[in-house]
Structure formats: structure tokens, C-alpha cells
Amino acid sequence: MLDIKTFILDIKTRVLYFAPKENGMSLMRLGRKLDAAIADAKRAGEVAGSAIEETNKYYGLRLLRAGLLWVSTYAISRGMLELPDLDRSVRILIALAPLPLFVWFLWIWRNGVASMDELRRRIELEALAFAFPICVVGFMTLGLLQLAIPFNPDSWSYRDTWAMMPALYYAGLWRAMRKYE
């Protein structure tokens, strides 16, 4: 790391210029050791930097994997619930099947946010602040419109409105990321 590097260089300069000359050989050895220490410190800094990037990449991949699993389970459950001759208790189990995966997805997201730096947390917050009020207004308006002109249940269902939330969240995320680029 650069602050350590500066510190070590400062010590090296002091030792080499102000120490007695008869100890020249040992001082050279000390100089070599200090050079090695500088190289190690620099490498440590590079490792720390790449660790941040790797953590972000790893979090993104885990979130994507959990999200895909959750949505796939939802799609399978949705398809199975269309089958007519299923027992009531089985139907309830199928309906609840995506829930553990959704909790897992949320857990990864929460841990990911906790490990982010402050700007990334702000971006996440701004994305939610963008999505939440639009969802509230959207649902409220749809509810009022349904009272005014009843929707055709074959082409419209509130079951499908949940997808509006992640879509708006990702739109908010994209918007916030662009803002701080």
C-alpha cells in the first residue's frame, strides 16, 4: 500500500544517509529487505483492490444464480397450479415452494449490500426509492381503474403485478449508477 511504501522509504532514507558508514554492508542488506517489504506492501494493496472487485463480481453472480432459481421455481409452480386435478394440500405446497428460494435471494442481496462501500449502498437505496413510490402509485391507480372499468380477468391479474417491482428496481439501479458514473 502506498502509505506504507512512503513510510518505509522515509525510514530507508534516514537509515542509509544518517547511519555510520562502517556498517555499510549490513545497511545494504537492510536496504534490500526494505525493498522486498515495499514490494510486499504494494502487492498487498493490489490484492486488496482486486479483492473488492472480486467480491462485487462474486456477489453479482450469486445474486443472479439465486434470482434465476427463484424465478424458475416460481414459473414451475405457476405452471403446476394450472393443472386441474391436484389435491388442495399439494396445491398449497406448490404455491409456497418459491418462498424459501426468495428468502435465500433476499439473504444474498442483504449480505451483498452489507459488504458494499457507501456509494454502492446509496445507489441501492436510490434504486429502491425510485421503485417503491412508482409501485405504490401504480397499484393505487390500477385499483381505482379496476373499479372504474373492470378488467378482463383473462388478460389481466394482480398476480402478475409483482414483476413490476423488480423491473422498476433494476430501472432505478441503472439510473442511479449512471448518475454517479
Applying CB under 8 A, the residues found at the interface with another protein are 1-3, 6, 45-46, 48-49, 52, 56, 117-120, 122, 179-181
The torsion region of residue 28 among left (phi > 0), alpha (psi -120 to 50) and beta comes to alpha
Q: How far is the CB of 177 from another protein (least distance, A)?
A: 9
Alpha-carbon gap, residue 180 to 5, rounded angstroms: 31
Kindly tell me which of 129 and 140 has the beta carbon lying closer to another protein: 129
**Closest Cα to residue 169, out of 139, 130, 137, 138?**
130
Q: How far is the CB of 151 from another protein (least distance, A)?
A: 43
Q: How far is the CB of 66 from another protein (least distance, A)?
A: 23
Q: Which residues, in sequence order, are CB contacts of 126 under 8 Å at separation 6+?
A: 172, 175, 176, 179
Q: How far is the CB of 24 from another protein (least distance, A)?
A: 31
Kindly tell me which of 1 and 135 has the beta carbon lying closer to another protein: 1
Kindly tell me which of 40 and 145 has the beta carbon lying closer to another protein: 40
CB 127 within 8 A of CB 175: yes
Kindly tell me which of 35 and 46 has the beta carbon lying closer to another protein: 46
Kindly tell me which of 4 and 69 has the beta carbon lying closer to another protein: 4
Q: How far is the CB of 117 from another protein (least distance, A)?
A: 4
104 vs 5, 79, 116, 139, CA distance in Å? 43, 22, 18, 26
Q: How far is the CB of 133 from another protein (least distance, A)?
A: 22
| Unique residue bearing C-alpha cell 506492501 | 41
Strand ranges, E, within the chain: none
As given in the structure block, the three cell numbers for residue 118 are 457507501
Kindly tell me which of 4 and 16 has the beta carbon lying closer to another protein: 4
